[in-house]
Amino acid sequence: MKDESCIFCKIANGEIPSSTIYEDENFRVILDLGPASRGHALILPKEHFADVCALPDGWAAKVLPLGAKIGAAMKKALGCTGFNLVQNNGVSAGQTVFHFHMHVIPRYDGALSIVSWEPGKASPEELAELAKEIKDAL
Ligand code: AMP
Ligand code: ZN
């Protein structure tokens, strides 16, 4: 299913041109217009799913192997020594385009960290309580 008002539906299906690095019957992988690093790519399903919660299992199962394949190619082609697979869900998580996508971000030696945080503190009691709350919602 496509969403007529969704730019990533149009890009994924070739209605809007993009710098495509990979395509198969289900996915198109393009270069990000606002790259976090040289070669930053986006894996786009050709059907519209708003986020990972809407992505059917069969589609989801294909995304991680594709991310690994693209990341491995980046290491060969670009000289990056690693890559981040990043996937934002919801405004609070930084999602700005509401068509599922996985970022593949090449990482180069000496560059600043992109995906990092200051570790907080949590007591065993807090962790146990949190774990129960989440488990009960599964
Ligand atoms: P997110 O913040 O996870 O929703 O990521 C959206 C990403 O899409 C950002 O990194 C944008 O730079 C990128 N982006 C938005 N529009 C386009 C476009 N037309 N072509 C390529 N990348 C895009
Ligand atoms: Zn879409």
Nearest-atom number in ligand 1 for the CA of 36 is 10
pLDDT digits (tens, 9 = 90+) for 89-136: 999 999 999 999 999 999 999 998 888 889 999 999 999 999 999 999
| 103 included as an active-site residue | no
Q: Give the C-alpha distances (Å, rounded to integers) separating 64 from 59, 61, 136.
A: 10, 7, 27
Cα of 78 to ligand 2 centre, how many Å?
29
Ligand in closest contact with the CA of 8: 2
* Cβ(86) – ligand 1 distance below 6 Å: no
Domain 7-137: top CATH class:
alpha beta
Amino acid at 121: K
Could you give the CA distance from residue 31 to residue 37 in angstroms, rounded to a whole number? 11
Nearest-atom number in ligand 1 for the CA of 101 is 3
Ligand 1: residue whose CA is nearest its atom 3: 95
Cα of 132 to ligand 1 centre, how many Å?
36
Could you give the CA distance from residue 19 to residue 31 in angstroms, rounded to a whole number? 6
pLDDT digits (tens, 9 = 90+) for 14-67: 999 999 999 999 999 999 999 999 999 999 999 999 999 999 999 999 999 999
Q: pTM for this structure?
A: 0.95
Cβ(73)–Cβ(44) under 8 Å? no
Tokens describing residue 9: 């539906």
Cβ(41)–Cβ(21) under 8 Å? yes
**Residue spans per domain, the chain:** 7-137
Mind spelling out the 3-state secondary structure of 1-44? CCCCCCHHHHHHCCCCCCCEEEECCCEEEEECCCCCCCCCEEEE
Spacing of C-alpha 117 from chain mean position: 18
- The confidence score (pLDDT) of residue 119 equals 94
